[in-house]
Each structure stands twice: as C-alpha cells, then as structure tokens.
Amino acid sequence: MKYVGIAMLFGLCTLIGMRLAAKKTARLNTVRSLRKDLVLFSERIATGGGTLAKIAAGQNGMLFTLLGRYLSALSDGESELNAAACAADMLKKDSTEQAGIRMFFSGLASASRADLIKRVNTLSPMLERAEGEAETETKQARVLRISGALVGAGLTILLL
C-alpha cells in the first residue's frame, strides 16, 4: 500500500510537470500567433484594409481575437483604456506580451495610420522578446517533465 502511494505521488509529480509544460507551450503558441498576426495586420493597414472590424473579420489568429474583444468592449461603451485592458486580460498576467498588447490597443481606435505603423513597430520587438522568454520557459518545463518522469519511475521501481 505504501509503495502504491509512493508511485501515485511520483505519477502526480509527472502529471504536474506535464501540465506545466503544456501551459508554457500554450504561451509560446500564443506569442508566435501574435507575431504572425502582427505581420498580417501591418500588411492590411499598409494596403488600405478598411476598418479594424473588417480587418478582424474572418481571421482566426490570436491578435484578431484580441482585436475583436477590444472592439466589442468599445461598442459596450468602455473607454479606450478599459477596452485595451479587456483585450490584454486574455493573455498571461504580467507577461511581456500582455504589457505590449495593452500598449498596442490603448487608443488604437483613434490612432492615425502613421501611429498604427509606429505601434506595430513597438509591439514587434516586445513580442520577439516574449517569444524568447516563452521558448526558454518551455524548454525548462520539458526538462522538468522528463526529469520528473524519470526520477519518479526510478524511485518507484527502487522502492518496489
């Protein structure tokens, strides 16, 4: 019974490691999607593109989901700052990408085309940095998961 308990404990550690790794991978995917979408967004702005709602329509990327959230908050009567915060709240708390997105969306609705391009140019390096952080975290989480699994399995065998 004792050994079964120990095995379950280590199994749980492994699962927690896996869950952590999955979270980190999700962050990495989000940041990569944001970077990819930002390129698409800037292309649309440069070629006319129509309104923000038209740009967001029919796109699946994370940036466009956030843009949809931002526009929806504005339609609900939120101020531009609050709407930006609503969009940023969909990202990891206190992360580089969250700070970048909050800055990007603050006042986006009343920004000029030149200002939009400036915003893209400011957000791009922030997302690049966030991607670096997310990659490092993901690697660490993978090591943790593998180590946890190995140690857990080894100790379980030893104790049995």
Partner 1 sequence: MEHWKKQWSAMLPKNVAEVLDRLDDDAPLLEIRLRRDAPLELVFDGSDRIVYGNNGAPMATADEIGSLTAKLMEYSAYAWENERKNGFITVGGCRVGLSGRMIRTDGNVQGFSSVSGVCVRIVREVKDCAKPLVPYLTKGGAFFSTLLVSPPGHGKTTLLRDLIRIASDGLYGVAAGCVGVADERFELSGDASGAAAFDLGMRTDVISGISKSDAMVRIVSTLSPKILAMDELNDARDAAALLDARGKGVTVFATAHGASIAELKLRAPIRMLLRERVFDRIAVLHGVGACEAVFDADGNRVDGNRA
Q: How far is residue 2 CA from its own chain's centroid?
A: 41
> Are the C-beta atoms of 1 and 158 separated by less than 8 Å?
no
> Are the C-beta atoms of 109 and 79 separated by less than 8 Å?
no
Instruction: List CB contacts of 79: < 8 A, sequence separation 6 or more.
Output: none
Segment lying near partner 1 (by CB under 8 A), choices 5-13, 107-115, 130-138, 142-150: 107-115
End-to-end alpha carbon distance in the chain = 10
Min dist CB 48 to partner 1, Å, is 8
Q: Output 21 or 108, the one with its CB closest to partner 1.
A: 108
Tell which positions 14-53 bind partner 1, by CB under 8 A. Answer: 45, 49-53
Q: Output 10 or 70, the one with its CB closest to partner 1.
A: 70
- Check binding of 118 to partner 1 (CB under 8 A): no
Binding positions for partner 1, rule: CB under 8 A = 45, 49-53, 71, 74-75, 77, 80, 108-113, 115-116
